Each structure stands twice: as structure tokens, then as C-alpha cells.
Chain A
Amino acid sequence: SAVISQKPSRDICQRGTSLTIQCQVDSQVTMMFWYRQQPGQSLTLIATANQGSEATYESGFVIDKFPISRPNLTFSTLTVSNMSPEDSSIYLCSVESLGATTNEKLFFGSGTQLSVL
């Protein structure tokens, strides 16, 4: 299993500014992911953070808007750039790992609640 620390847990930001969200895992993991969860909606995958190479973005998400770093196997950051109110959402870090006693494969951080004014 994996324990994920994500911060900040919440923030209120002014439009036009940027926010960097950090994700720290207690063990080395190959796959790290960033999701967005808009109010009343499902989890949408933003990108896969690859260690040592550029992140892989899903359709509708671009590096200029959501730059991602993955300097090692336990840490990643997601930046929400040039924010607008439409970026208000919960952002979740997740990692792929093996559950200790279950088939759980995808573990999530506690999320970052972002509000853009």
C-alpha cells in the first residue's frame, strides 16, 4: 500500500495567479497521476507524471496550463497556471501500488480544494 501526503489541502487564489500542489508518497512508485474533480462530477485524469521524462497529458489538458514535475519516485507537483474561476475544483494526486491485503491498486491523496476568485 501507499500513504500519500498532499498539500495544500485547500487554497483560495486570485485569478491570473498560479498554485503548485505537492504530492509526497511514503514509498517509491512508478506511476503517479493527477486528477481533477469538479463539483458534482467524476474524477478526470489530467496527466500521468513520469519520472525522468515529460508528463503524459490527457485530451483537453496541456502542459502550459498544468505543468507537472516528477523529480524522483516519491514526489510530484502539479501547477495550475494563470488561474480562472473555472479552475475551481478538487485536485487529487494518486499512485499505483499494490494493496497490502486487498486488490487495491490506486491510492489517492486527500486532495486540494482550490477556489479561484
Chain B
Amino acid sequence: GESVGLHLPTLSVQEGDNSIINCAYSNSASDYFIWYKQESGKGPQFIIDIRSNMDKRQGQRVTVLLNKTVKHLSLQIAATQPGDSAVYFCADVVAGNQFYFGTGTSLTVIP
């Protein structure tokens, strides 16, 4: 079956440093992958996605890397800010509409 997991449940970084959040997946038929950010008391919010035929995609201060060989996905946040403190989820999307969510990594930014 499908499994999407995260390597670390918690991550603490100093303000201004870069953050890297990792995710492993098992399904080979994924269409694309999504990273979500969930702040306390809020629902998950879309950050960035990457199609399965891509290796890298950049957004504003964020970069997602996809390694299909080892089925690994990462989210890099540059110059981490206190407002980045949240839980980050990866999601694996199969057949365009089946979403499989990871357990989440809690990122804490230390001022």
C-alpha cells in the first residue's frame, strides 16, 4: 500500500538559517507531490508542488527537490523566519485525485 513518511518529527532552527524537511514515499505511480504548511489552529495551506517528471522546483524562499531513484522529497526553506514555525506535510498524489499525507514535521524557529 501507499505510505508517505517523514524522517524527523521535529526540527528546530535558528532564525536566518536554512531549514530542510524530508519526506519518503513508496508509490511509484505518483502524479505529483505537494508540501503543505499547517499553523496552529489552522488547516493545511499549499506551499509548493512538484510534478513527478521534475527534479527541482523553486518558489519564494522555498525549494522542493525530488529524487525518484530513492523516492525522497525535501522542502528547503531559505533564511527561516519565526513565521515559518508550523507543521509541514508532504502529500503524494496518485491518479490526480488520491492524496496520501505524511505525518508532518514540526518546525520551530528560534529567534
Question: Which A residues form the contact surface with B (CB < 8 A)?
Answer: 4, 6, 9, 31, 40-43, 45, 92, 94, 96, 99, 102-111, 113
- Among residues of B, the one whose C-beta sits closest to the C-beta of A99 is B46
Collect the chain B residues with CB atoms within 8 Å of residue A108's CB. 43-45
Chain B residues within 8 Å of chain A by Cβ, number? 20
B101 and A104 contact, CB distance less than 8 A: no
Question: Which B residues form the contact surface with A (CB < 8 A)?
Answer: 4, 9, 32, 34, 41-46, 49, 89, 91, 93, 97, 99, 101-104
Instruction: Tell me the interface secondary structure of chain B in the complex.
Output: strand
Given the known interface contacts A9-B41, A99-B46, A111-B43, the answer about A106 and B104 at a Cβ–Cβ threshold of 8 Å is no
Q: B61 to nearest A CB, angstroms?
A: 15
Collect the chain A residues with CB atoms within 8 Å of residue B97's CB. 31, 96
Collect the chain B residues with CB atoms within 8 Å of residue A105's CB. 93
A40 to B4, CA, bound (A): 15
B41 and A113 contact, CB distance less than 8 A: yes
Number of A-B contacts (CB under 8 A): 47
A110 and B41 contact, CB distance less than 8 A: yes
A81 to B41, CA, bound (A): 23
Collect the chain A residues with CB atoms within 8 Å of residue B45's CB. 108
- Among residues of A, the one whose C-beta sits closest to the C-beta of B6 is A42
A43 to B101, CA, bound (A): 6
Q: A104 to nearest B CB, angstroms?
A: 4
Given the known interface contacts A42-B101, A42-B104, A43-B89, the answer about A109 and B43 at a Cβ–Cβ threshold of 8 Å is yes
- Among residues of B, the one whose C-beta sits closest to the C-beta of A102 is B46
A41 and B103 contact, CB distance less than 8 A: yes
Q: List 11 A-B contacts (CB under 8 A).
A: A9-B41, A42-B104, A43-B44, A96-B97, A102-B46, A102-B49, A106-B99, A110-B41, A110-B42, A110-B43, A113-B41
A113 to B40, CA, bound (A): 11
Q: A102 to nearest B CB, angstroms?
A: 6
The 4 lowest CB-CB distance pairs between A and B, nearest first, are: A108-B43, A104-B46, A43-B101, A42-B101
Collect the chain A residues with CB atoms within 8 Å of residue B43's CB. 4, 6, 92, 94, 108-111
